Chain A
Amino acid sequence: MLYNVENFASHFFVLGDPLIYGADVSIVLVSLAIVFVLTYYKKWGWLWREWLTTVDHKKIGIMYMIAALLMLFRGGVDAILMRTQLIMPNMPFLKAQHYNEIFTTHGTIMILFMAMPFIFAMMNIAVPLQIGARDVAFPYLNAISFWLFFFAAMLLNLSFVIGGSPDAGWTSYAPLAGLTFDKGPGENYYLLALQITGIGSMATGINFFVTIMKMRAPGMTLMRMPLFTWSILAACIIIIFAFPPLTAALTLLLMDRLAGAHFFTIFDGGNPMMYVNMFWMWGHPEVYIVVLPAFGVFSEVVATFSKKRTFGYASMVASLIAIAVISFFTWVHHFFTMGAGPGVNSFFAVATMIIAIPTGVKVFNWLFTMYQGRIRTKLPMLWAIAFIPNFAIGGASGVMLAVAPADYQFHNSYFLVAHFHQVLIGGVVFGMLAGMYYWWPKMFGFMLNERLGRIAFWFFNIGFYVCFLPQYWLGWMGMTRRIYTYLPGMGWTFWNIISTFGAYLMGVGFVFIVLQILYSIRYGERDLTGDPWDGRTLEWSLPSPVPHYNFARIPEVTGRDAWWTMKEAKQKGEMQPELEPLKPIHMPNDSGRPFILSVLFFIFGFGMVFTWYPMAAVAFIGILLSLILRSFEYDTDHTLSVDEIRRTEAAYGRV
């Protein structure tokens, strides 16, 4: 009996590794600290009422952002561990299995649990405000999306200490990820966590698509929308079409693993290449899902901080749409080397190169937005400026990878690793940081310290080049990705040392960002104007932080850069339109159900990971019940009285 318990425990908990014990201890300590603080300051009720049950897009956005930063930290620690292991040949720091788990979780977390929530954060925070709406189309669904993502992230992170992490790469190719070659629960964690967060992403895609199509303020035609909103519209369209293949691929692989099916096994007629195709049918569009919103942020930031209209607005919109469409016709470039034949390879090579054209056009339009403007290098603009050379080089190496015969030499090498980090960090991470700095005063009502932010910027930026430029070179020297160790005598050591050093610099940069936030929470300057950057779009017409109903009066939009136009009219002393009287506002009720529903999904996922079907079944019934209960809920919204609105507005000194 005792032996059985012991045996179970040693498989359930991951034992025998100091790093994991460290993680165990820190998880327990952090959880205890959180519980203690919440109890000591009597904040449980506040947490539940203000955050866990909220359906307010602004608060959901903030929660997405905090979660994304935490995951950036987790993924960053993974990265530092890996780079430390690679600093020298034959490093005895990480074992193969451990390294494999770390690059798998690093990649999965960075893409699905860092980049995705970060773009969801920005779109939640800014899109309704930019189009003059009071919330998203489906606020309750929005909360469900967030909590599904959150608990899926928890599920994946749990794998590190319970059961073991997935270890077949973030792509999780069959047959390596199938049962024959990968027995443990790790891959199940991957499949279920992605599936659960995928439901949330799909819902967000639909939600914001409808929001943008249906909830724009009067006068805001599509061609007057801010470019950030346009980029989100494009990203949502991609989400809606790209996630179904992923869902199908994950489901089929899960059936292979749990139910003995043979979709992707190498025996009994399975076809692993089918998985590879389905994965990348989602996987390639996915990179545009995360990078288009970053483009959108840059468009806003560049125009605002150059005090100039965006150059070539129509081209900018056209290129977003073009990229969104073409992104569905390039997936085979991830496996030119699987011998699909010259015809197929040629088609996908050329399609991939074509994407570079609209992307290049965007870069020139940003440059000419700055040209003959007045550039203020505040933090958001600093990241936008740094993005341009970074993305130019990353995009160029992308075109090089698209040249199929050249790709035979680049594929699976460090050249590829350098390329995708350059576009993912230089594009997505820079973009999201720019967005965070840009909208931070809008979210919280105070400014972030510039000095600490600049230090962080330089560490991160220089660190980036030091870390990743040598990797292009390493790729040419024959170093393949996903190796945990290498031999001396290949000439790789020197460049690996430099690269690791760069990773440490980026780590220091991240620490400064955290310091900056902590410092500014205490000492940050208040933003009393609501428009600290002299903005151009409607969110800057509102006070910071924005009241929960957003607009006391829905604005009338007369042109592009709506807020800029209004400010100019006022300055010229033009007649201001009579203010309409305030009207009561309809608002959705808060609800605890999205949170509970997602906890149930978590339990369901956990049960499936360990094939404890009774547990999964109970949770599943719970999920169904809570969905049914929701359909019989009639009291779902409330009305704010004119009085209440007037009082709130007065507190901001408006009215």
Chain B
Amino acid sequence: MMQKRTGTYTLIAALCATLFLLPGCGEQVLVFHPVGPVGQVEKQMIILSIVMVSIVVIPVIALLWVIVVRYRDTPDNPTPYRPEWSESRTLEFLWWAVPIVIIGVLGFVTVQKTFALVRPPGKVINPLTIQVTSLDWKWLFQYPGQKIATVNYCEIPANRPIEFVLTSNAPMNSFWVPQLGGQEYTMPGMAMKLWLEADQPGVYFGSGANFSGEGFSHMHFHVIARPQSDFDHWVQRIKSTAPPLTTQQYAVLAQRTIVQPMSFSTNQPGLFEKIVSQDGGMYMRRDLMKGKVNTHVGTD
């Protein structure tokens, strides 16, 4: 009897496991397939945290199982029954101490990595800056160095740290490219920095992660990473074929619409800074004046 039941449970467990592994064990579980150093660090943290919490969760579930099976209130239950037993220094010490140790370790690594992730990944050898503005309901990418702009897609050189500078000219959103790394909010009146890097060429899914109204569900985009030379070619091509980003064009973009990907042969120097300062950028005036925008530590 017992034998047969164990067999059934194993079968169910095996079925569940295959179910979970079948579709999407591969590339589609984006968070577990990072292609850059930031995503990698975050994946390690996720795995570390899963391991640490399992130290408690698995024994809890196992104990519950055993206890509920063993101590049922049946007339001929042979197990001990001690209705008054309600204190044990040793046991209680154990389950205050074990979680404290686990949290201690996890907390320590968390703090370490939290500080590490605000710095650029690896050595900064001529990073590329991309200014990202979330609009209703689209993403505008401006390349101040290359003097071009794109909408709803962006291209980056692989193996080069990218400094995304984020703001919004609409309700807050959040810029998330899971395979490159975790997200950061785009907020009106603030310019925030997010360092990401792609180790290998490819097309990576990105989306707005923070709800921003009716068209929010359509705010996804692709980040296309190419070798440096291909990237340079792409820039040249955009420069010579795409229309310029005029003031009127920006005004059209700022309207509440959903659009297809677009490219522009010019950016608008100063547009990004203007958006930030007009939408409450007084909180960042100091940084803006220094000619560089920074994460707004201590300004909120």
Interface residues of A, Cβ cutoff 8 Å to B? 96-97, 100, 167-169, 173, 175-176, 181-182, 266-267, 269-274, 277, 306-313, 315, 335, 337-343, 345-346, 349-350, 353-354, 356-357, 360-361, 363-365, 367-377, 385, 388-389, 392-393, 396, 399-400, 402-409, 411-413, 473, 475-478, 480-487, 490-491, 494-495
B86, B87, B212 interface centre (most CB from chain A within 10 Å): B86
Q: Which of A273, A349, A388, A408 contacts B64 (CB 8 A)?
A: A388
Q: Which 7 residue pairs spanning A and B have beta carbons closest together? A: A408-B182, A491-B28, A176-B171, A396-B53, A341-B297, A374-B73, A266-B188
Q: Which of A267, A306, A338, A343 contacts B185 (CB 8 A)?
A: A338
Q: A273-B300, A400-B46 are in contact. Are A486 and B103 (CB under 8 A)?
A: no
Chain A residues lying within 8 Å of B188, measured Cβ to Cβ, are: 175, 266, 272
Residue B100 is within 8 A (CB to CB) of chain A in the complex: yes
Q: Which of B114, B193, B213, B216 contacts A483 (CB 8 A)?
A: B216
Residue B122 is within 8 A (CB to CB) of chain A in the complex: no
B23, B92, B110, B278 interface centre (most CB from chain A within 10 Å): B110
Majority SS of interface residues in chain B?
A: mixed
> Complex Cα distance A96/B212, Å?
12
Contact assessment for B83 and A308 in the assembled complex, using a CB-CB cutoff below 8 Å: yes
Can you pick out 15 interface pairs between chain A and chain B where the beta carbons lie within 8 Å of each other?
A272-B187, A309-B84, A342-B117, A349-B107, A349-B114, A353-B107, A357-B103, A364-B95, A368-B91, A373-B81, A373-B83, A404-B114, A406-B182, A409-B42, A409-B46
Chain A residues lying within 8 Å of B42, measured Cβ to Cβ, are: 405-406, 408-409
Minimum C-beta distance from B233 to chain A (A) = 28
Q: A372-B79, A412-B210 are in contact. Are A341 and B53 (CB under 8 A)?
A: no
> Complex Cα distance A339/B68, Å?
46
B:22-63 near A, CB below 8 Å: 23-24, 28-32, 39, 41-43, 45-46, 48-50, 52-54, 56-57, 60-61, 63
Minimum C-beta distance from A413 to chain B (A) = 7
Minimum C-beta distance from B80 to chain A (A) = 5
> Complex Cα distance A409/B36, Å?
13
Chain A residues lying within 8 Å of B73, measured Cβ to Cβ, are: 307, 374-376
Minimum C-beta distance from B54 to chain A (A) = 8
Contact assessment for A476 and B31 in the assembled complex, using a CB-CB cutoff below 8 Å: yes
Contact assessment for B31 and A370 in the assembled complex, using a CB-CB cutoff below 8 Å: no
Contact assessment for B189 and A477 in the assembled complex, using a CB-CB cutoff below 8 Å: no
Contact assessment for A411 and B182 in the assembled complex, using a CB-CB cutoff below 8 Å: yes
Residue B234 is within 8 A (CB to CB) of chain A in the complex: no
- A-contact 0/1 string along B277-300, CB 8 Å cutoff: 011101100000000000111101
Chain A residues lying within 8 Å of B45, measured Cβ to Cβ, are: 403, 405-406
Contact assessment for B110 and A409 in the assembled complex, using a CB-CB cutoff below 8 Å: no
Q: Which of A167, A315, A405, A495 contacts B182 (CB 8 A)?
A: A405
Q: A338-B185, A373-B81, A388-B60 are in contact. Are A405 and B92 (CB under 8 A)?
A: no
Contact assessment for B209 and A361 in the assembled complex, using a CB-CB cutoff below 8 Å: no
Contact assessment for A340 and B86 in the assembled complex, using a CB-CB cutoff below 8 Å: no
Contact assessment for B209 and A412 in the assembled complex, using a CB-CB cutoff below 8 Å: yes
Chain A residues lying within 8 Å of B46, measured Cβ to Cβ, are: 400, 403, 406, 409
> Complex Cα distance A579/B1, Å?
56
Minimum C-beta distance from B223 to chain A (A) = 12
Size band of the interface chain B makes with A:
35 or more
Q: Which of A173, A346, A484, A490 contacts B172 (CB 8 A)?
A: A173
Residue B214 is within 8 A (CB to CB) of chain A in the complex: yes
> Complex Cα distance A307/B107, Å?
39
Q: Which of A392, A405, A491 contacts B110 (CB 8 A)?
A: A405
Contact assessment for A400 and B103 in the assembled complex, using a CB-CB cutoff below 8 Å: no
Contact assessment for A483 and B205 in the assembled complex, using a CB-CB cutoff below 8 Å: no
Contact assessment for A342 and B115 in the assembled complex, using a CB-CB cutoff below 8 Å: yes
> Complex Cα distance A367/B39, Å?
38
Q: Which of A309, A341, A377 contacts B118 (CB 8 A)?
A: A341
Minimum C-beta distance from B62 to chain A (A) = 10
Minimum C-beta distance from A199 to chain B (A) = 28
Minimum C-beta distance from A486 to chain B (A) = 7
> Complex Cα distance A358/B58, Å?
18
Chain A residues lying within 8 Å of B60, measured Cβ to Cβ, are: 363-364, 367, 388-389, 392
Contact assessment for A372 and B20 in the assembled complex, using a CB-CB cutoff below 8 Å: no
Q: A272-B188, A476-B29, A491-B23 are in contact. Are A403 and B110 (CB under 8 A)?
A: yes
Name the residue on B nearest A306 (C-beta).
Answer: B71
Name the residue on A nearest B211 (C-beta).
Answer: A482
Name the residue on A nearest B54 (C-beta).
Answer: A396
Minimum C-beta distance from B170 to chain A (A) = 8
- A-contact 0/1 string along B171-211, CB 8 Å cutoff: 11010101001111101111011000000000001011111
Contact assessment for A372 and B100 in the assembled complex, using a CB-CB cutoff below 8 Å: no
B24, B190, B207 interface centre (most CB from chain A within 10 Å): B24
Q: Which of B54, B84, B86, B110 contacts A349 (CB 8 A)?
A: B110
> Complex Cα distance A495/B28, Å?
12
Residue B215 is within 8 A (CB to CB) of chain A in the complex: yes
B95, B100, B208 interface centre (most CB from chain A within 10 Å): B95
Contact assessment for A269 and B56 in the assembled complex, using a CB-CB cutoff below 8 Å: no
Contact assessment for A481 and B71 in the assembled complex, using a CB-CB cutoff below 8 Å: no
